[in-house]
Chain A
Amino acid sequence: MNVSRREFTKIGCRIIIGAAAGSAVIESIVAKGTASQDPPGDYDWNAHYWGYVIDTRKCIGCGRCAKACKLENNVPFDEPVYRTWVERYRVLKGEDVKIDSPNGSIDGFDDDIPAEEVKKAFYVPKICNHCDTPPCVQVCPVGATYETKDGVVLVDYDYCIGCRYCIQGCPYGARYFNTERKTADKCTWCYHRITRGLLPACVQACPVGARVFGDLKDPESAVNKILDKERINVLKPDLGTKPKVYYVGLDREVK
């Protein structure tokens, strides 16, 4: 019973510490003076407003996007947490719909249902929608998650209290709990990359151009070229979240 006893003490300590919330607590938060470093390059966030287009008709389900994302953003590979993932939809001949996303598509997909039984099938990449009216930002009780001027929803890892209300509030399952930082975490559209003029890791990794990223303020941008031409949709439009991830070729089964 060694382990349980240790756990027991830990639990007791945690409760006492939590309830007391004493001076040590205040001291630990007082690290407010640390001014953050100036970021590299000049970037004017008022000049941009980012958007993202996913063409589901092109996706081949290789899962390189999900792999690159985890590498780029230090998302643990051994935990079921994903900033982006690919879903597979298979409408069977008996009208049943089978949806799955084994390990978020990082290891690819095996055909575990014979092709003869499948009526139609397709892949759908998913990612944080960086909503214009983000429900996750709305519900954060302390202001630890926010929408930047250029339209990206971020988490302040040094301010988040880890209540996980935002995870409950996201209709798309795009948020997860970072067990290392003990805070909420999510896709940043690779904010550290896009503000340096690079593409998000998932967009860069996509070999078929199913993922397109660009500036909605620039009429010539890659996203606007698609948005101006194609018939597009967003996920769960009825919830009024106003997503900025636009889908081409979205099926009614996709939620």
Chain B
Amino acid sequence: MQPHLKRVFMLLVIAIIGFVFVRSLIVPDSFGEYGWYRANSVNDIRNFPVKHAGSASCGDESCHAAIYSIWKDSGHKTVNCETCHGASGEHANNIRILPTPANDSRDFCGLCHFKRVARPENFPQIDPEIHGENLQCTYCHNPHKPWFV
């Protein structure tokens, strides 16, 4: 082979070796442990903080045991505490951090209970125009143990 061609191929080989070397330095160690991805990323995601502690955590350790036991037997037992009272993950870990106050506006109750055409018919719904004279829902209804007046 001609010397100039040898040189150009030598350059190419050096470039490829350099690339392989740099690659071995940079690719994360955990890459490919389970599949074509960085295995450590699974743990990174598992370590994300939990923001919604769940209703069960409210009733535990006799913090809100009284109201919890009322709610537990009510028609609203499927409604998670945090749906109205705000995410309580931080509050459950440190009671000094208070969750956002409960939303007790008419419109908030209406998200579930205003009459809507697309809602299943057997679900309890009211017509906001004629029901309750624009009073706050909690004036008549106990959100922790709803009943029909």
Physical contact A–B (CB less than 8 Å): yes
A43 to chain B, nearest CB (A): 8
Is the CB–CB distance between A159 and B78 below 8 Å?
A: no
Instruction: Given A64-B111, A68-B52, A192-B48, verify A154-B42 contact (CB < 8 Å).
Output: yes
The answer, yes or no, to whether B59 is at the interface (CB within 8 Å) is: no
The answer, yes or no, to whether A6 is at the interface (CB within 8 Å) is: no
Interface residues on A, range: 35 or more
The answer, yes or no, to whether A231 is at the interface (CB within 8 Å) is: no
Is the CB–CB distance between B51 and A201 below 8 Å?
A: yes
The answer, yes or no, to whether B64 is at the interface (CB within 8 Å) is: no
Is the CB–CB distance between B45 and A207 below 8 Å?
A: no
The answer, yes or no, to whether B141 is at the interface (CB within 8 Å) is: no
The answer, yes or no, to whether B83 is at the interface (CB within 8 Å) is: yes
Number of interface residues of B (CB under 8 A): 43
- Residue in B41, B52, B112, B117 whose beta carbon sits within 8 Å of that of A90 in the complex: B117
Is the CB–CB distance between B80 and A72 below 8 Å?
A: no
Instruction: Given A58-B120, A204-B52, verify A30-B25 contact (CB < 8 Å).
Output: yes
- Residue in B26, B29, B45, B111 whose beta carbon sits within 8 Å of that of A192 in the complex: B45
Instruction: Given A61-B118, A158-B38, verify A37-B112 contact (CB < 8 Å).
Output: no
Per-residue interface assignment for chain A, residues 159 to 175, with 1 indicating a CB less than 8 Å from any chain B CB and 0 otherwise: 10000000000000000
CB-contacts of A124-179 with B (<8 A): 143-149, 154, 156-159
A13 to B120, CA, bound (A): 56
Q: CB-CB < 8 A to B27: which residues of A?
A: 32
Q: Which of A62, A154, A205 has the most B CB atoms < 10 Å from its CB?
A: A62
Is the CB–CB distance between B112 and A122 below 8 Å?
A: no
Q: Please name the residue on chain A nearest to B53 by beta carbon.
A: A198
A208 to B78, CA, bound (A): 7
Instruction: Given A109-B118, A205-B80, verify A39-B52 contact (CB < 8 Å).
Output: no
A86 to B89, CA, bound (A): 25
A30 to B79, CA, bound (A): 47
The answer, yes or no, to whether B69 is at the interface (CB within 8 Å) is: no
A40 to B48, CA, bound (A): 10
Is the CB–CB distance between B37 and A201 below 8 Å?
A: no
B interface, CB within 8 angstroms of A: 22, 25-29, 31, 34-38, 40-52, 54, 76, 78-80, 82-83, 87, 110-112, 115-120, 123
Give me 24 A-to-B residue pairs in the complex whose CB atoms sit less than 8 angstroms apart, sorted by A's number: A30-B25, A30-B26, A32-B28, A36-B40, A39-B43, A43-B46, A60-B123, A71-B51, A71-B87, A72-B52, A143-B35, A143-B38, A146-B35, A146-B37, A188-B45, A192-B46, A192-B49, A199-B54, A201-B51, A204-B52, A204-B54, A204-B82, A205-B82, A208-B78
A interface, CB within 8 angstroms of B: 26, 29-30, 32-33, 35-40, 43, 57-64, 68, 71-73, 88-90, 108-109, 111, 113, 115, 118, 121-123, 143-149, 154, 156-159, 188, 191-193, 195-196, 198-199, 201, 204-209
